[in-house]
Structure 1
Amino acid sequence: MRFTDPSALLSHLLDRHEDGRAGARAYPDNAAFSSVVEADRFRKKLEEASRAGAVELRMDKGRRAGEVKFVRIADAANLYRFVERIPSGERSASALDELFRRAELSTPFAEQGREAAGAWSRNRKWAGIAPGDIGSLAKALILAQAIHAQQHSGLDYRTFSRRTVSDSKALERLEASVVRALRGAVPDIPEGATPREALGALGLEKVSPPLLLSGPITFGAHQPDASFLGFPADAIDTVDFSRMPEYVLVVENYTSFVRHVTEADPDRRGLVLYGGGYPSAGIQKAFGLIARRLPDEVPFYHWSDIDPDGIWIFLTVERAFGRGLIPHLMTVELAEKHGNPPVQVASRVARADGSILFELIAYLSQPGAKHLEQEELDPMIPRL
């Protein structure tokens, strides 16, 4: 980065200083000045800063003699005074005091506030919140604390946000920051979930997604002639069965769900449910109600991607059903045969001692493990 504005160059040096970069340099863009007058004005401002003991100027030689080659800090305190800027460490300390005046925070969320102040002291954002933005930080931490205290139960995004921080759109703006704060207090938030998925799994949804399902289902005396149906998750009690399903299968991916019900099981032998990635709290509750209505003889299966997120989702669905779940098309052999190394560093694999997924979890925890998206496989009915 090169500069034609002396104030921007000096501010850049302080930014690098606050970022912990000792001996940082800043370079003029000597070829970009529009006139000799502009170049002289630039050099005079830097010479003034040098006389104040703030910076050191290294001059060029040869045919460029007289031009400033680069600038570095001589004394940071003098440079702060020269540009009339308060050091970020002082600003962050003041911000932290202001935060605690605005919000009563319990220990884990007060600690998140201190972490934010630490990032601000290095002139860095914290969870997307810019240094000094106390209003956003306070709202994010208050919202996270309220969710941890279960004050969001039964509320949508905007109602919860309005009641908690008197700003109906705050949660939508600060989703990532709220989830970042919650991770320190709620250890089972899956790493790979988007902020909206994470909040949905905790029971807070912007709009409740419908439950999609296929199988031998009826509404009263009516048996719909459709591959699958969708309706509010809390209306699961209105669904009945024309006969007992041979199996229950939850499918993570929408394309794989549609292919399964249209290609693999057009006769609707099983009850097939669309999980929608990380299932929302409403969907999880519906899964629990379904499990209690079916006898133990009906096997329950789950089909996810073979990757760390798929493991998290499987375990979440298993907890929602409250009964043992069998992995479908989720094996080490399939990953080795059809999978590929992940394109980016994989998230941490969930631990589940004693789980039926123990072998797959151990495989995914190893360097070089392949990941497999379920769309790569053709659907098939579980081996009953």
Structure 2
Amino acid sequence: MADDDDKSAGRGAALARKALERLLARAENAAAKGPAQTDRAGRSVTLPLSEKSFPEYLRLQRHADKAVCNASLQLAELDGAISVEWDHRAGERAHVQRILLRDGAGLARHLGIEPRWDVVALAKRQFEPHVAAHPVLAHVLEAWRKGNLLRGTRPGEVASWLDSIQVMQYCASRRGDDIAIRRLSASLFRDSKRIEAIWPALDALVQGDATMVQSEMEELFSELGLVKFPPTLLVAGNVAVSYGDETVRASRPYVGFAPSVIRSAHVDPGSGQRLLTVENLTTFHEMAVQRPDDAIVIYTGGMPSPSWKRAYVVFLKALAPTAALHHWGDIDLGGFRIASHIAKCCEQEGRSLRLHGMRANAVLPGTVTRRELVPSARREILRICERWGWGDEAGALGALAVEQEAMDPCWPE
């Protein structure tokens, strides 16, 4: 008999707590709009114990279970956290019609739960020193106020964002260098894989916008100079490179260099009339074999790292002012983001970059494998094209992405 009483007490108390927690959740949502006790329209926060809102209460089979549940709700009422409305047709305090919030903070204390508004307020204080430099943190707080996840972080999970800022600050201090990602992660956080775990938040901070399409992880790390191993810059062309303490010619079909060691370059007269960068390795090999004497081809290795971009500028400085600069990559967001980084290198040297092979309407339907281009990615591609004056590519953009490897190799006219 005692066991049955214990079970009833347990069931009844657990159900009352569930109802109170649901009321607190409603209060947290209301607090995102106004005072914790009301929503934006000033309506009180309530929870009807009805078939629609809380059917578990109506399905209690045992009188003892219901009595314990009712008693537990009355304790919260005595604590000043809620008010209980009774259905008087069922008898004296026999059936609860609904519970009403009286004190959101009091309800949270009664339950021993830190309410979301306190969690977000603490996060706001922790973010305060960084919001000016990283306005995206304001959007993080707004999402958390509503109880939403942002870039995989729940309300109050500030560590992912603060650690990401620490990574960005370190990378900025080593701009142009390649940084061993797991060594840095172990040094900063005593966890060699911490940076890889927080990359969605890191990406939002780097992009400056948490709503933009998330980068690929490897693209993000390359952009910051974070590498698992030092990159190799592959070059095909009639060019001599000052490499460390010696001069190395880029013999056919191509030569690989550590970009951080490249000091300068000398292009043979008449051979540096055009420079083509290529996103994907398969296409680079094909273009290197087919290379005309007046062309230089460089493999980007996906998203170019800071050391790659520094080496690329070395080649730009070696070219004649009239040399044509082209880039060929995937017709997708990643491909246009890569092109944008290279275009910025050119702009800093007073030059302009043109795209090659990235007009979607020039690819015959059915000849390559395509995939859907989500609307948000399409919008960002159009923004990039507008930024760099790539009007033809913007006008040709459709609803499908095209991988570079699926297209036949060809040279810019």
CA deviation after TM superposition for structure 1 residue 288, in Å:
1.0
Amino acid at match of 2:230: S
Other-structure match for 1:65: none
Could you tell me which of 197, 215, 230 is aligned with 2:256? 230
CA deviation after TM superposition for structure 1 residue 191, in Å:
4.9
Q: Report if aligned partners of 1:15, 1:123 keep a CA contact under 8 Å in 2.
A: no
Q: Report if aligned partners of 1:175, 1:196 keep a CA contact under 8 Å in 2.
A: no
Other-structure match for 1:197: 219
SS for the counterpart of 2:276 is strand
Q: Report if aligned partners of 2:235, 2:255 keep a CA contact under 8 Å in 1.
A: yes
Q: Report if aligned partners of 1:49, 1:82 keep a CA contact under 8 Å in 2.
A: no
What TM-score, normalized by structure 1, do the two folds share?
A: 0.69
Amino acid at match of 2:406: E
Root mean square deviation, CA, Å:
4.6
SS for the counterpart of 1:119 is helix
Amino acid at match of 1:123: G
CA deviation after TM superposition for structure 1 residue 378, in Å:
0.7
Deviations 1:280-301 (A, max 9, x none): 1111111111111122454322
Other-structure match for 1:63: none
Could you tell me which of 66, 87, 95 is aligned with 2:115? 87
Change (3 A) 1:43 1:266: farther
Counterparts of 2:332 and 2:259, CA distance in 1? 27
CA deviation after TM superposition for structure 1 residue 104, in Å:
4.0
Change (3 A) 1:328 1:352: closer
Counterparts of 2:390 and 2:18, CA distance in 1? 55
Deviations 1:7-38 (A, max 9, x none): 5675456446535698783554999x9xx9xx
Could you tell me which of 383, 391, 395 is aligned with 1:358? 391
What TM-score, normalized by structure 2, do the two folds share?
A: 0.65
Could you tell me which of 308, 325, 344 is aligned with 2:374? 344
Moved more, 311-320 or 341-350: 341-350
Counterparts of 1:138 and 1:45, CA distance in 2? 45
Other-structure match for 1:18: 28
Q: Report if aligned partners of 2:374, 2:399 keep a CA contact under 8 Å in 1.
A: no
Amino acid at match of 1:127: R
Other-structure match for 1:123: 147
- The structure with the largest alpha-carbon Rg is 2
The answer to whether the aligner puts 1:293 opposite 2:327 as a matched pair is no
Other-structure match for 1:214: 236
Counterparts of 1:270 and 1:173, CA distance in 2? 42
Moved more, 202-211 or 85-94: 202-211
CA deviation after TM superposition for structure 1 residue 274, in Å:
1.4
Counterparts of 1:230 and 1:358, CA distance in 2? 34
Counterparts of 1:50 and 1:309, CA distance in 2? 55
Counterparts of 2:148 and 2:225, CA distance in 1? 31
Q: Report if aligned partners of 2:131, 2:137 keep a CA contact under 8 Å in 1.
A: no
The equivalences for 1:273-352 within 5 A come to 273-321=298-346, 322=349, 323-334=351-362, 337=365, 342-347=372-377, 348=380, 349-351=382-384
Change (3 A) 1:123 1:235: same
Amino acid at match of 1:285: R
Identify unmatched segments of 5+ residues in structure 2: 1-10, 31-38, 40-44, 48-52, 88-94, 242-246
